[in-house]
Amino acid sequence: MTTPIKGPRVQPRPLETPKPSLPRNEVKPKAPQAARPDTVGVSRFDSGKGRSPSVALSSPVAAPQGSPIQPGSHPTAEDVKAISAMKDPVARNYAITQGYSDLSAAMSQMLGDDNANWATFATWASKQAGVSIRGEDMPRFLTDALKGADGALGPLARVDDFLRKLGLPAFPIGDLGAAGNEALTSVSKAIADGNQFVFREVGQEFARFIETFQGDTKYDAAKVKQYLDGFPKDKPLLKEAFGHYAQAMFEKDPNKKAELMLLANNKVGLHEQTQLQPFIDKALNAPVKETFRKVLKQGIEASINALPFPANLAGKAALKSGAVDALLNPVVDAAAGAFRRVATEHMMKLAVPGGALKLGNDLPPPRGMESTLFPPHLRTIQNPELRALLGRLDHSPDSLKGTGAKDWSRLEQRMDYIIDLFRTRQSDPHLFDAPFGRSGTTYPLPNAPR
């Protein structure tokens, strides 16, 4: 299966010729405007405020200048290991996100910033993972959802009636929130572990690429071969991907360069998502029901045991007979269902320029590309290897219909979404915004173990 050829394609031109008129369907750049006071120093990736429409780049690609990258402006392979070894998952995620951003910036110095590289996208995926790792806003959302969960109110009322007959107060809704927090902890740990694993593995390869090729002014086939021979045999996709990055570094044809970058990004993405499968399964299949049952039953047991003798005899008999379990079963089912809905809605999002994408919905086109969908150099695909890869992974060729991943646990649905995300946003300059509203850090990080 190959990708159909559609839409106008931007043709390369010699550097010395006058600039041609803009191709059909291209977004014309606007004159720069002064930044608003409330957006200065803040990444425009997280908000539509004050940002201009995305501009599809079409100018020919200039040859790399060969200037070395400033030492300490990006993590080295050893820094990546040190960051990955950080014990605090929250601090580690901040360092990983910033590390991806700085690797992305260093790569753009070598390959140009007209095409995002995989680390550019990984910056924002890691930042979004941090929201789940920190559990931001989940307790309030979860408690509200549990209070109104379908099928939960009736069972909760029956539990309240039962507790009152035993001389106990009504069922504390706070216990539901506590159970949700405990369930969230197991989900957050799986996400943090996946975030750590991918950065340790893929981040090192980006650092090694930068260290190997920075300052080079021409393609050296022997050097590239020696570099690629350093990849483990069990990582063929990574080896191929960084080979494409090496080719793209010296490619002057903007169409060919964009396709090489997309091919490399897709292969790193496929490797990453394949490796992440166990972590995703663990996050989505966390023992939510068991957690809710344990916390809720412990709360009731504590209340019964606090009653004086002989008032606590009836309660202890109810615990022993299984009556308490029978009453809690429908509450646990409803609460666990509400948790999964809220957690899925909360975690299956990705910040992009102008808003946040819901991964279960079809991918929307970037602003200014509603009719063309893709930037000019990627509207049609000529690279045979890229065409074959898209034909295998993209179930709606040259369309964004059906890209929503209804089941994020399935690799093919994730990749169907991701490859179109990469293709539609590859030329968006706002992807290179600083993730925390500031420039990069200095490496090695002071809090990272050496």
Alpha-carbon span 370 to 210, nearest angstrom: 35
Tokens representing 237 are 């996709």
pLDDT at 139: 54
**Do the beta carbons of residue 246 and residue 206 sit within 8 Å?**
no
Contact 296, 270 (CB under 8 A): no
At 44, the pLDDT band (50, 70, 90 cuts) reads very low
Q: Give the position of tokens 């898209």.
A: 390
In the predicted model, what is the mean pLDDT of residues 132-156?
61
Q: For residue 164, what pLDDT is reported?
A: 72
Q: Is 433 within 8 Å of 420 (Cβ atoms)?
A: no
Give the residue extent of every domain in the chain: 67-432
Partners of 356 in the beta sheet? 351
Gap between the Cα atoms of 361 and 341, Å rounded: 15
Query: Highest mean pLDDT range out of 57-71, 165-179, 298-312?
Result: 298-312
Buried b (16+ CB within 10 A) or exposed e, 121-136: bbbbbbbbbbbbbebe
Predicted pLDDT of residue 222: 97
Which DSSP letter does residue 355 get? Answer: E
Query: What is the full DSSP assignment across 188-256?
Result: HHHHHHHHHHHIIIIIHHHHHHHHHHTT--S--HHHHHHHHTTS-TT-HHHHHHHHHHHHHHT---HHH
Q: Say if CB 125 and CB 93 are below 8 A apart.
A: no
For residues 283-293, average pLDDT: 74
The Cα-based distances of 212 to 75, 82, 202 in angstroms read 14, 20, 15
**Among candidates 352, 262, 376, 424, which has minimal Cα distance to 27?**
376
Alpha-carbon span 433 to 422, nearest angstrom: 16
**Cα distance between residue 167 and residue 122, in whole Å:** 55
Q: Is the pLDDT of residue 220 over 90?
A: yes
Q: What is the mean pLDDT of the chain?
A: 79
Coil, helix or strand at residue 171: coil
CA distance 418 to 395: 12
pTM of the model: 0.74
Whether residue 301 has pLDDT greater than 90 = no
DSSP code for 358: E
Question: By mean pLDDT, which of 23-27, 104-108, 331-335, 398-402 is the weakest?
Answer: 23-27
Q: Tell me the C-alpha distance between 382 and 172, whole Å.
A: 63
State pLDDT tens for residues 308-330. Answer: 888 888 888 888 888 888 888 88
Residue 367 binned pLDDT confidence (cut-offs 50, 70, 90): confident
pLDDT in tens, 372-414: 999 999 999 999 999 999 999 999 899 999 998 887 888 999 9
pLDDT of residue 34: 39
d(CA 300, CA 298): 5
pLDDT at 39: 35
- Stated as kind and residue range, the H or E segment containing 305 is helix 288-306
Per-residue pLDDT band for 122 (boundaries 50, 70, 90) equals very high
263 pLDDT higher than 50: yes
Q: Which of 21-35, 142-156, 288-302 has the highest mean pLDDT?
A: 288-302
Q: What is the pLDDT of residue 131?
A: 85
